[in-house]
Structure 1
Amino acid sequence: MTEDQKSIQGITDVPFSILDLAPVLVGGTPRDSFHRTLDLAQHAEKWGYHRFWLAEHHNMPGIASSATSVVIGYVAAGTTSIRVGSGGIMLPNHAPLVIAEQFGTLESMYPGRIDLGLGRAPGSDQPAARALRRGLGRDGHDFPELLSELRGYMNPELGTAVPGVRAFPGEGLDIPIWLLGSSGFSAELAGQLGLPFAFASHFAPDYLMPALHLYRSQFRPSETLAKPQAMVGINIIAADTDAEAQRLATSHQQSFLNIIRGRTGMMNPPVDNMDALWNEQEKAYVMRQLSFSVIGSKETVRARLQQLQQQTAADEWIVSSPIYDHGARLRSYEILADIVKGK
C-alpha cells in the first residue's frame, strides 16, 4: 500500500447520504410514495445520515419527485436536522430566477438545512424536454450561463444576474450549490469554479474515475471551498443474507430493463429469476450500467465499500436503494448505517 493509499479515509470517516426518487410502486399512488419518502427521511435522520436529496424527473410514472422543490419542503417540514436538497434540479428546465426564489424560500423556512444540487440534463425523454423548455433551444450547452445567472441572484459578486432583477427571498442566503454530472462537463466546470461535485455512478459508472480525476486536477480554491469535495453516487441493496439482497435487487434490474426496451412504468416487485425476463444482450447491458452497485449482506457490503473507498477516495457517498418493499428498504439503510458506525 502506498503512502497516498494509507491517507485515504475509511468508510467510517466519511459522511453517507441518501438519494430518493419517491418511487411509485405497481398498485400504488404518488401519495403513498410521499408518505414512504418522509418515513425514510425520518429514519435516516435517526440513523445519522448527512443529507436527504430528491431528484427531478419528468414523464416517468414510477417517479413522484417531479416537483422537486415541493417535495423537499415536505421532507424538511417533517424532519428537524438532516440536510435536505436536490440531487438534482435540472437547471436548463427552469428560469434561474425561479430556482433562486424557490430555494431562497426553502432556506428561509428551514435555515442551514437546504442544498441545491444542479444538473444540465433534461431528467426526462425528448418529448418531455421539449414540453419543459418550450422551444427555447436549451440543450444543456448554456448551463454555465444559467448557473452564473443563478449564482448572481444569490450573491451578486459571484455571478451575472439580469440587470435590475433580484431574488427575494434568495439574495444573500448561504445555500450550498453542488454540480452533478455523469460525464466530464460538470466535473471540469465544478473544479474551475471551486464548487463541490457529485458524480452519478449509480447509473453511469464507466466515467467515474476519469471524472473524479478531471474535477480534482481542475480544482481552483474559491470562497466556497478550499479543496475539492467529491460525492459519489452508488446503489446499495443490503439485506440479512446475500441471497435476499440479490433477490431484492431484481426490482431495480427490471426498471433498467424497461428503460432499454423504451418503456416507463412503476417499480415491480422482485422476482426469483431474471433470466426468464431478459435475453443475454439485455442482461449484459443492464449489469454493466449497474456495475457500481453493492448488493449483499452486511459483511459483503462492508468489504465492497472499503474497496471502493480506497479506489475513489470519495469525500462523501450518496446512496440509492431502489427496493420495492418499504420495510426491506428501511432495513437496507439501517444495515448500512451500522456499517458506517463500525458495528
Structure 2
Amino acid sequence: MPSFNCPVPNLRLHIDGDALARNWQRLNMLSGTASAGAAIKANAYGLGINSVAPILKEQGVRNYFVTHWCEAASLLRYVAANDISVLHGPQTSEEAQYAKSQGLRPVINSLSQAAIWLRAGGGVCDLMVDTGINRLGLDMSEIHDPILQKLDINLVLSHLACADEDHPLNAVQLDRARTAFRAINSVGKSLSSSAGIALGEPYHFDITRPGLALYGGIPRAEFEGVIEQVATPQAMVIMTRQVAQGATIGYNATFTAPRPMRVAIVSLGYADGFLRAWAGKAKFRYGGIDLPVLGKISMDMTVVDCSAAPDVAEGDWVSLPYNLAAASAATGLSQYELLTVLGERFNSR
C-alpha cells in the first residue's frame, strides 16, 4: 500500500531564504563591531531548523542559541557543537555529561548549575547574569562567588527586559551588565537580542543575539523598511461549495451569508497556528484577490469567501499574508506568538 509522510501535503510554509539571509546581514551590520549570532530556539521560531540553519551557516553565523538539549541535537546536523549555546543549562548530571560528550556549551544560570557542570568535569561554558528581568541567571550579588573562577567561560550574557520600548530599565540593565561583565572573566560579552541592537553601540558588546527580527519581526520602529518578511503560510483548497443566502457557516453559526456565496474550504486551522484570533480579520490571497475568512476557524480548516475569485478550484493554493507587525496589530497576538505557534504539519519550501 502507498504510504504518506507528515508534514501533510496540503500545507506548506514558504520560507524566503534570501530575505532571511539579508535580514541577518543587516542585523550584523547594525551590530557595529559586534558579531550577530542567531537565536534558533523553538524550531527556529517556528520556521524550522532544517530550513533556517543551512542558510545562516552559509552566511557565516558562528553563535547559535537554543533553549533545550533536544534542540541542540537537531542543530548538530548543520553546525559545529562548540558554536551552540543551550540557554537552560544543565539541570542534571546527565545533561552535563551529554553536553560534554557532544562539545556543546551549556549556559550556566545559577551557582547550583555551576556545581553540576564542574562535577561533570567542567569545560567551556557560557554564563547568564540577571540584570533586571528576573528570570534565569545569577543574581548580581553572586557575580563575585569563588565558584565562578573555576569556570571556563566563553560568553557572559544578560538579557534586556524592555528593549522593545524606550524604558528607563534599559539604562539600568546596561549599567548592571557593565558591572557584571567587568567582574567575570570571559572571552566575550553579550546583552542584546533583536530589539537591543536598535538601542545602539553601548548595548552591543561582542555578540548580539537576534531572533525575532531575523525571521521578519519588527520589534522596534527602527527596523521598519529594513527587515523583510520571511515566512508565508500557504494552504490548499480542499473543497468549494455554494452557500445560500441566510445559511450559516462554521461552529456556533457566527456568520450568516448576506447573499448567495461561493466559498472555499482551506486546509489550515488553529492546530496549525492559525488561531481563532484571526476570525473576521484575516484575508487569504489568490492571484492578487482577497479571500476573507468567514465564521470561526476550525481545528484543521477555514472557510473563505471566494466570490471574487470564481476560478478558485479544489487543489489550488492560497496564501496567508503574514507581515508580522500588521498581523500582530490585527489579532492582538505578539509577533513572537505568530511565528512560534506555526504547527508541525507544514511542509517548508
Under TM normalisation by the shorter chain, which class is it?
0.3 to 0.5
Which structure dedicates a bigger proportion of its chain to strand?
A: 2
What TM-score comes out, normalization by structure 2 length? Answer: 0.42
Mark the structure with the bigger radius of gyration: 2
Which structure dedicates a bigger proportion of its chain to helix?
A: 1
